[in-house]
């Protein structure tokens, strides 16, 4: 599904990614771990099309299509979803209205009719229950005054609504207490299927107890320095990132 080849990227003069290779297939969960400053968030931003970063070398393919020339919204329309580490507040635009706009713009781009209002309500009800979100919450301005946990839960709610092909969760566990973590992870697990894929970006192993990855990659200094199964996350937790840094 996602195929990243020799990806180099920089911001300004600073090279952040120095040759990333990654293959993610449908039905798989990948975790990308690494110390602060390793380039984890940069990688996710670049996959989603953030124009602040410059791809200097290499390619990203989604189902065989080169993403290089696609704007962030075009990538979203093709099924790329990024759960933000710091979701943005949008006063005056309710969660429901924001979702309605996002879904209908996506449908429009894919040549579909707008989603009928009653169907929209049904989906909203279903997905908000899945994430244990109070209905009142949905009429509040997007992310405005939300707690850290509410923001993250809202991100996963949006993921559920948009039903992406590839979901990238950037530090979704940060700022979550244990109950919220369980709800969020449970939501992600229920959304998982053999048709979609999830990339979990995290500093800690904690979230991976709930969302069990098929593959774990360790990113350090702009490169994937180690890949393995779920057990690699535990090993990292035990030995710390110095272990990786020492080896490389």
Partner 1 sequence: MELKEKLLSSFMAFEERIDVHSELHDVRTAAIKNFENKGFPTKKEESWKYTSLNAILKNDFSVFPKTENAIQYSDVKKYFLHEIDTYKVVFVDGVFSSHLSSTTHDGIDVCLMSSALNKPKYKMIIDTYFNKIASKEESLTSLNTAFANEGAYINIPKSKVADKPIEIMYFSTGSETAILVQPRNLVIVGENSHVQIIERHQSLNENPVLTNSVTEIFAQKRAIVDYYKIQNDNLEANLIDNTYVSQKQESHVSVHTFSFGGNLTRNNLNFYHFGERLTSTLNGITIIGESQHVDHYTLVNHATPNCESFQDYKGIFTDRSTGVFNGKVYVEREAQKTNAFQKSNNILLSDKATINAKPQLEIFADDVKCSHGCTIGQLDETAMFYMQQRGIPKKEAKALLMYAFSNAVIENIKIPELKQRITTIIANKLGVKIGFDL
Binding site for partner 1 (CB under 8 A): 45, 48-52, 71-73, 75-77, 80-82, 84, 86-88, 90-93, 97-98, 100-106, 109, 114, 141, 158, 162
Question: Which residue, 120 or 225, has its beta carbon nearer to partner 1?
Answer: 120
Question: Which residue, 117 or 178, has its beta carbon nearer to partner 1?
Answer: 117
Give the chain's end-to-end CA distance (angstroms, integer): 30
Question: Which residue, 68 or 109, has its beta carbon nearer to partner 1?
Answer: 109
Provide the minimum distance between the beta carbon of 187 and partner 1 in the complex, in angstroms, as a whole number.
17
Question: Which residue, 16 or 236, has its beta carbon nearer to partner 1?
Answer: 16
Which pair of tokens denotes residue 183? 């709800």
Query: What are the φ and ψ backbone dihedral angles of 66, each rounded to 5 degrees?
Result: -70, 125
Q: Which residues contact 158 (CB under 8 A, 6 or more apart)?
A: 81, 83, 99, 102
Neighbours of 68 (CB within 10 A): 11
Question: Which residue, 68 or 71, has its beta carbon nearer to partner 1?
Answer: 71
Provide the minimum distance between the beta carbon of 3 and partner 1 in the complex, in angstroms, as a whole number.
20
Provide the minimum distance between the beta carbon of 84 and partner 1 in the complex, in angstroms, as a whole number.
6
Q: Rounded CA gap, 183 and 199, in Å? A: 18
Provide the minimum distance between the beta carbon of 87 and partner 1 in the complex, in angstroms, as a whole number.
7
Provide the minimum distance between the beta carbon of 116 and partner 1 in the complex, in angstroms, as a whole number.
12
Opening angle at CA 137, ends 161 and 150, nearest 5 = 80
Q: Rounded CA gap, 226 and 238, in Å? A: 16
């Amino acid at each position: 599904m996602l195929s990243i080849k020799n990806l180099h990227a920089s911001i300004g003069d600073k090279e952040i990614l120095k040759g990333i290779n990654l293959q993610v297939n449908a039905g798989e969960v990948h975790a990308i771990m690494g110390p602060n400053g390793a380039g984890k968030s940069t990688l996710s931003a670049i996959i989603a099309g953030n124009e602040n970063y410059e791809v200097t070398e290499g390619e990203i393919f989604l189902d065989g299509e080169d993403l290089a020339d696609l704007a962030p919204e075009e990538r979203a329309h093709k099924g790329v979803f990024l759960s933000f580490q710091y979701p943005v507040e949008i006063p005056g635009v309710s969660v429901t209205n924001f979702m309605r706009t996002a879904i209908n713009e996506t449908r429009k781009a894919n040549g579909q009719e707008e989603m009928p209002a009653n169907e929209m309500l049904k989906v909203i009800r279903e997905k908000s229950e899945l994430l244990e979100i109070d209905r009142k919450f949905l009429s509040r301005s997007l992310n405005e005054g939300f707690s850290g946990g509410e923001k993250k839960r809202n991100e996963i709610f949006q993921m559920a609504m948009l039903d992406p092909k590839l979901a990238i969760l950037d530090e979704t566990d940060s700022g979550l207490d244990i109950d919220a973590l369980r709800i969020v992870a449970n939501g992600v697990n229920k959304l998982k299927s053999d048709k979609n894929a999830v990339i979990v970006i995290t500093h800690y192993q904690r979230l991976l107890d709930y969302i069990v990855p098929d593959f774990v990659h360790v990113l350090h200094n702009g490169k994937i320095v180690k890949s393995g199964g779920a057990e690699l996350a535990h090993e990292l937790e035990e030995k710390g990132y110095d272990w990786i840094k020492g080896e490389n």
